[in-house]
A and B are shown apart, each in its own frame.
Chain A
Amino acid sequence: MLNIYAQTYSGFDYAMIDELLTEEQINIRQSIRAWINRDIISHIEDWAQNATFHPEIMQQLGQMGCLGPHIPKEYGGGGLDTITYGIIMQELERADSGIRSCASVQSSLVMYPIWKFGSEQQKQKFLPLLSTGEYIGSFGLTEPNHGSNPNGMECRVKKVQGGYLLNGNKMWITNSPICHLAVVWAKDENNYVIGLIVERAMQGFSTPTIHEKWSLRTSITGELVFQDVFIPEENILPNAKGLKAPLSCLSSARYGISWGAIGAAMDCLHSALEYSKDRYQFDKPLAAFQLTQKRLAEFITEITQAQLLSFRIGQLINSGKATPAQISMAKRNNVEMALRIARESRQICGAMGITGAFPMMRHAMNLESVITYEGTHEVHLLITGMDITGINAF
């Protein structure tokens, strides 16, 4: 399926934020866009329509430098700042949230905890392999009975000689069916959350696929099932202390999502804007109708607001000042913005908009997952509410 406007995509920069970016940041954006335009965009509709995941994408992401861009170079990462990380996520999600999810999970939910909480030996063993995409990682926090409230998790470890025995289930895990390793969160005998690296070859570990998703169809999702899996001591993340540890990974990923959503929104705006100038009804281009302009004008306004928010949060993370609540606000606001733009820009394209010749339906379906994972829309609202009132309303 051919998206006729894909190759002319050049993003939107109404507030001239590019002036605040460095030359490298702009060059990196151009490179990723060139790669997406050459190797991804002409296949993405087919991949989504047929719900096929292409694991070789992981190596391509690694080759481009999209896996662990904010991890230090000595471990195979890019050593780049968080704004650059955001820019990368934006370009990837402009193509598809599924592709961005692969890069987010690997970078923020697998490499980041190993780097932040792992031993030197774990970092040296796993991070370089993860940064090239040779190894695919997954992140197991959510369980069948515990999503928004991970503190209720039922996954358990029991101390045995030389390590731990792990039992339980994780569900809705991106890349689990193809992962070489999983960073898994479980409670020990004192009800204390610890982090473990579970490797594919370990006895009692399996990863069934979840089928028939209407969303993120270019990304593979599954379960992690542990039946008396022996985890040697050397696979415990020594510095992960309590639930705070996985939550800090989520902050990093959520921040990236706040940029990613802008990419999806800009892709929708681009297609709708171009189509509205090309398509004539009542002897006028659709863009000449006030109702169309209202939509387009609101889209660019909302996108610009989202850009300013993410850019500023990126600066705050760079200077070590960002709070998780600020990141929640950016994730929540920007994903909802993107979802609304995806739905409404689809309407501008009339019947054509329901086909794979346009990206909106795919983005809209994808964003239904994005608005749910990494903290649901409601959960982030409650985080903001708690932040300004001081009262926990969960």
Chain B
Amino acid sequence: MKFLVCISLVPDTTTKISFVDNDTKFNNDKVQWILNPYDEWYALVRALELKEANGGTVTVVNVGPAANDQVIRKALAIGADDAIRIDGSDDLDSYGIAANIAAVAKEGAYDLVLLGKETISYNGSNIGGMVAEILGQPFISYATSLDLNGNTAKISREIEGGKEIVEANAPFVLSAAKGMAEQRIPNMKGIMQAKTKPLKVVPATATPTLTSTVKYELPPAKAAVKLISPDNVEELVTLLHNEAKVI
């Protein structure tokens, strides 16, 4: 089976977030990029496990600039066979990214396209659905397990208060949630092998920009702490009621 795993880059969780160009662009300066954990820990690792059990290949795909290559190699170090970087700028909107991934998926005739349920940066959750739509394939989201029997997949999905078990035949697109697999940390052998694994760069095709970011806002800065004397319970209750609006 041929697996295609979409991997995106997200800022390391300790990054200090700021914006430039009148708060319309994320400030990339000094950001340490990591693989999106949902893509890396769940989608990629499950694809590798299935490949190890049943044979096949695992290709990872990323849309982004050449600077991404170092992080893409980490996916190769974890065990992917090869990588494709669609040489696109950061400006592509979700549709542009999805359309480009779909083109690569179609061209390579992959049986399964896997990706994380969301990025931990934008939390958009919209690439998977779009890729499936463009490919004319089913989309199964928020999957917590994926098992294959030949071409037939059994998938569990976390739903409110319980679980849903779904069956589908490949090809399809699936977004992975926590529980699907366990993080694999690349070892030295993997890191050294990654150097020689193919990382193909293909140009992005132009797509219409359907959405654009008008403004980013940071959460309001924490206000100063108000100290209320312990014998003034009444004021505390009033403030909690009127100002904090928590009671």
Contacts and interface: CB of A to CB of B under 8 A. Distances in A.
A107 B187 CA distance: 16
Residue with the greatest number of chain A CB neighbours at <10 A, chosen from B74, B185, B188: B188
Given A23-B70, A78-B192, A10 B14 contact: yes
Interface in B20-77: 70, 73-74, 77
- How many of chain B's residues touch chain A, expressed as a range? 10 to 19
Given A10-B14, A23-B73, A38 B183 contact: yes
B186 interface: yes
Interface in A58-84: 63-66, 69, 78-80
B7 to A, nearest CB: 15
A202 B189 CA distance: 34
Interface string A1-21: 000000010100000000000
Interface stretch (A24-32, A96-104, A234-242, A377-385): A24-32
Interface in B152-187: 183, 185-187
B73 A27 contact: yes
Interface string B181-208: 0010111110110110000000000000
A78 B70 contact: no
A31 B186 contact: yes
Nearest to A69: B188
B236 to A, nearest CB: 23
Nearest to B192: A24
Contacts of A8: 14
A69 B191 CA distance: 12
A160 interface: no
Given A24-B195, A38-B183, A64 B73 contact: no
A24 B76 CA distance: 12
A37 B194 CA distance: 23
Interface in B96-142: none
Contacts of B185: 31, 34-35, 38, 64
Given A23-B70, A34-B185, A35-B185, A28 B14 contact: no
A78 B191 CA distance: 10
B79 to A, nearest CB: 13
A23 B192 CA distance: 10
A8 B13 CA distance: 10
Residue with the greatest number of chain B CB neighbours at <10 A, chosen from A28, A31, A69, A79: A31
Contact of A27 (B14, B183, B189, B191): B191
Contact of A78 (B74, B77, B188, B194): B188
- How many of chain A's residues touch chain B, expressed as a range? 10 to 19
How would you classify the secondary structure of chain B's contact residues: helix, strand, loop or mixed?
helix
Nearest to B191: A27
A27 B186 CA distance: 9
B92 to A, nearest CB: 26
A27 B72 CA distance: 11
Given A27-B73, A38-B183, A80 B14 contact: no
Residue with the greatest number of chain B CB neighbours at <10 A, chosen from A10, A35, A65: A65
Contacts of B194: 27
Interface in A93-134: none
A35 B183 CA distance: 10
Nearest to A39: B185
Residue with the greatest number of chain B CB neighbours at <10 A, chosen from A23, A69, A80: A23
A27 B77 contact: yes
Contacts of B186: 27, 31
Contact of A24 (B14, B183, B187, B191): B191
Contact of B188 (A10, A23, A65): A65
A69 B192 CA distance: 11
A8 B74 CA distance: 21
B41 to A, nearest CB: 11
A34 B188 CA distance: 13
Contacts of B183: 38
Given A23-B73, A38-B183, A64-B185, A31 B14 contact: no
Contacts of A34: 185
A27 B73 CA distance: 9
B188 A80 contact: yes
B189 A65 contact: yes
A64 B189 CA distance: 8
Contacts of B70: 23, 27
Contacts of A30: 74
B73 A28 contact: no
Contacts of A28: 188, 191
Nearest to A62: B187
Nearest to A24: B191
A356 to B, nearest CB: 24
A8 B195 CA distance: 28
Contacts of A23: 70, 73
A69 B74 CA distance: 19
A346 B221 CA distance: 33
A343 B195 CA distance: 42
B14 A64 contact: no
A374 B73 CA distance: 38
Nearest to A22: B195
Contacts of A69: 188
Contacts of B191: 24, 27-28, 31
Given A24-B192, A65-B188, A80-B188, 14 more contacts: A10-B14, A23-B73, A27-B73, A27-B191, A27-B194, A31-B77, A35-B185, A38-B183, A38-B185, A64-B185, A69-B188, A78-B189, A78-B192, A79-B192
Q: Which 3 A-B pairs give the minimum distances between C-beta atoms? A: A65-B188, A65-B187, A35-B185
23 contacts: A8-B14, A23-B70, A24-B191, A24-B192, A27-B70, A27-B73, A27-B186, A27-B191, A28-B188, A28-B191, A30-B74, A31-B77, A31-B186, A31-B188, A35-B185, A38-B183, A38-B185, A63-B187, A64-B188, A65-B187, A78-B189, A79-B192, A80-B188
